[in-house]
Chain A
Amino acid sequence: MHDPDPGRMARRKIKTNRVSRAVDYADPEPSAFASMLGGLIDANVGNSPAKRKDFDDLAARVGIWVTDIDEGVTLEFQRGSLVVHNGLKPKRDITIRAEAETVMNLSNLRIGLFGMPVYYDEVGRGVAAKLLQGKLRIDGMLGNIATVNTVTRIFSVR
């Protein structure tokens, strides 16, 4: 007979491991990469009102795949909160694929006028060159330029 007790039914809601008010982790054991990105974003939005505003306005699923370690995360920005998932999850708006060093360099892009990433200094030229060489791929970029720029600003430690 069907068990009428709803309290024992399986739930599909993702359990999260709360670390701060801004960042949660979807997995009981976040990967080192997930912890690092979550920690970095948490610190950035905590230290900068401008990044906090971007964070509060952003609703997007962003995948990041590090090609030379075969690891990735999905960042689920939910206007003022973020859930970090181990691995790539479906329905991503953009997906960034690059080697570890390039991913770190993305966090070192300077932000210039009108909140645009700076591509003419040493770090920026390096990132732009990786894009042109196909060593940095941003799937979904064309329809989501504003999202790419907002995510870059939130990532940036500059």
Chain B
Amino acid sequence: MTVSAFSDEWARQFKDEVNRSSTYQSAAKGWKWTVGLVVEAEPDKNFPESKGVVMDLFDGSARDIKVGSAAEAQKCDFVITAPYTRWKQVATKELDATKGILQGKLKLKGDLPTIVRYTKASQEMTECTTRIPVEWPDEK
């Protein structure tokens, strides 16, 4: 069953996917920081307001993932910001997140050596988003 992109139900499924992933569990051992995803508004894509995804990740598991305001996400230890369309490209495997960051399509804020150390974990987290069947607002 599909869920609306960046909805509470989407966040719940995303958390379940992360916690089901043994790859993430081993790659994220030792991770103890919060991660915020800022999804910038694109009114012409039927995504009128920016949203934030706040992820409480700890030692290989997702303790909590919730959707809130962009401001909440911006308070996290690591923040990745991009317009709605870019996140959709990431979630549909059209854009690799690592490449997107190196190209500046996704903007990363946070301690670089730490995030580089956990490249594999962040790649697997991206994979988890691709496993959720999503109804995209611009396709409604």
Contact = CB atoms under 8 A, between A and B. Distances in A.
A32 B102 contact: yes
A31 interface: yes
Interface stretch (B30-38, B52-60, B65-73, B111-119): B111-119
Nearest to A66: B102
- Determine the interface band of chain A, counting residues with CB < 8 A from chain B: 20 to 34
A84 B99 CA distance: 19
A107 interface: yes
B99 A100 contact: yes
Q: Mostly helix, strand, loop or mixed at chain B's interface? A: helix
Contacts, number: 53
Interface residues of B, number: 18
A157 interface: yes
B98 interface: yes
A66 B103 CA distance: 10
Contact of B112 (A31, A36, A103, A105): A36
Interface in A103-148: 103-105, 107-108
Given A104-B116, A157-B116, A32 B99 contact: no
Interface of A: 31-33, 36, 39-40, 43-44, 47, 66, 68-69, 71, 100-101, 103-105, 107-108, 157-158
Given A43-B113, A101-B119, 11 more contacts: A32-B101, A32-B102, A32-B104, A32-B107, A33-B102, A66-B102, A68-B99, A69-B103, A71-B103, A101-B123, A108-B119
Interface of B: 96, 98-99, 101-105, 107-108, 111-114, 116-117, 119, 123
